[in-house]
Structure formats: structure tokens, C-alpha cells
Copies of this chain bind each other. A is one copy, B any other.
């Protein structure tokens, strides 16, 4: 970041949308404020000719219309989704890719039909090991022309809360969220929830396509296999207090009682608590953690009553989960700049 962001990275930042952090004040993120990461182009899909194909290691391959999918048993889930690259700009040395600061997150109500029952109907074979999901979005990456495709291990794919979603926040999926159908794997980073879904393929051995083999792995060096990314790491974010300066986004707060607020989530386990610091992480106090009102897979609100006195502060928040995971104070580096859940730091000037 010392030398700035390149034109190529800016092109990505201009088309992939972050959630402005003041939108942490909404329980459910309004459509248009949820983060968006589109690897290639958003396809224009004609729903009348679109079909979902189910094939591979199945006794009865299927080709389903949108109407047939909508007629199946339905479930609605509130889910916090986060990009595996959220926080990438804060790692050093700089990693060139979509330059996310901290805005690659959002929570929506997704409605769809459970995947497991569909796989059962298709007669999944005993040799099944993974389920592959292929989208209609097509492009070039790592010098390979490809449709975006990711697999999910069988045990995860069969979870009751894994959905084939056709609605978000009560309306049909808009194009940018995967119209007419997307996968939804709650608790996993967003790359798993394949959009513009066209094909589900039951595999007997691990998928080794580009997005599985090369992208979305925690690695220190190009030639190591590394660890695949899966569950969302624990994180709290705050809605920056006070008002911003337009260009710098520096925050100005008027002295007096201030309610700091934000959201916390973890794909690994329930959120256990959130700490707040006003001195850059030297000392911490416990925030009030709201109820899991939206269910296991959505963020929880937190708040903290701050008696703000004039001066300069660095306000931070740090979540921990029931598995003992806690956010680091400083970012750690990996080749892809993934899963950097180091604490958010917001410089604030309190004026009399």
C-alpha cells in the first residue's frame, strides 16, 4: 500500500461493492448495500430457458426449472456473508487482488430449497465425496478460461441449512446476487456460495479446478498446497462514530455520551463476546452483546456506552467465539491476503 493501489486494483474496487460501515446499524443489510464480489461479469440470464442440471455420481440426473425449484419445500435463513479477502489491504507486504479494506460483508435473509433433499432425490451414489457447483459466469484467471466453480465436502453440502436460494430480503435474487439461483453455505466465506448456478455435480474425488486448487487457500509460498479456506473467522466491526470528513473519512465526535455500536460474527462457533478499546488496544472493556436474534448464522449487535472527552482516540473492537478464537491485534500475511480478521482501528477526534 506504500506505493498506492494500481489501476488494475482500482478497476476491481470500482465494480465490486463494499458495505459502507455505517450500514452495520441495520439488522439486515438493505439490497444494494450488501457486499458484492464478481469474479467475471454479471451474466444476464433468461429464466424461461434456464435449467439447473444435477449430474455426476447420481442414479437419476435432473434438469429443473425455476418454477420446479420454487415449488419445493422452502426455508428462509438470515446469513452473514463475508469475502475471504476482507481486510486484504491491511496486510503487508501488499497483495495484489480485489483491494478490500473492511467492507466486504453483509447480512441478508435468503430463501430457497434445501440442497440435501434434492441430492437424495437424484440418488446420490455411495462413492460421493464432494459436490461441485458451477456458475454461468465465465472468464480467464491464472491463464485458464473457466466458468466459476467450487466444490463443497459432502458432509457440509448435506447440512440442513445449505440452501439453493432464489430470493433475498423477500424479492427474487437481483442479477448481482446470482439470479435466478445461487448456493448458500452459511458460515463459510462467500466464495463457496456459487452464484448464477447452472450445474450441481456429485464427485467421487476432490475437485481440482482453479478456484479450489489455486485460489482461496492459505499459503505462504506459491508451490505449497496450503490449507483451503472454509469457515468465516471471528470478527467484530463498528459503525464509525460521529461524522466523517469527506475525503479522509476521519471521524469527528462531539464530547458527551456516545453509543459505540457494531456487529460481531463467526462461522466457527457462537460469538462469546466483544471487547472495546479507546486507546488503540492497550486497555479493553466489555461491550454489551445483543441476542442472536437472527439465528446462528447471522451477526449479533453489540454496543458500548462511551463517555467521550475531548482528545484524540483510536477506537477498536475485538470479538471472540465459543471455540476460543479471538481476533489478532495485528494482521498476519499470507500469499492471497485471505482471512485477515485483525481488529478494526478507527481514529476519532472528540471535540468540546
Contact = CB atoms under 8 A, between A and B. Distances in A.
Interface of A: 1, 3-15, 17-18, 20-23, 25-26, 30-34, 36, 38-42, 44, 89, 96-97, 99-101, 103, 138-141, 145, 174-177, 240, 243-250, 252
A246 to B, nearest CB: 4
B101 A246 contact: no
B15 A139 contact: no
A7 B15 contact: no
Given A3-B3, A103-B15, A174-B30, A97 B22 contact: no
A6 to B, nearest CB: 6
Contact of A5 (B4, B25, B138, B243): B4
A175 B33 contact: yes
Contact of A245 (B17, B20, B141): B141
A23 B175 contact: yes
A274 to B, nearest CB: 21
B32 A174 contact: yes
A10 to B, nearest CB: 5
Given A4-B5, A14-B100, A248-B8, A243 B141 contact: no
A243 to B, nearest CB: 5
A31 B246 contact: no
Within the oligomer, what is the number of copies of this chain?
A: 2
A174 B14 CA distance: 21
Given A4-B7, A15-B21, A40-B243, 4 more contacts: A5-B5, A5-B10, A23-B175, A140-B246
Contact of A38 (B1, B20, B243): B20
A30 B176 contact: yes
Given A32-B32, A176-B32, A11 B249 contact: yes
A260 to B, nearest CB: 15
Contacts of A139: 243-246
21 contacts: A1-B7, A4-B6, A5-B6, A8-B247, A10-B13, A11-B249, A14-B99, A14-B101, A17-B17, A20-B42, A23-B42, A25-B44, A31-B31, A32-B34, A32-B177, A40-B244, A41-B240, A97-B247, A139-B246, A141-B246, A145-B243
A297 to B, nearest CB: 21
B13 A14 contact: yes
A22 B44 CA distance: 9
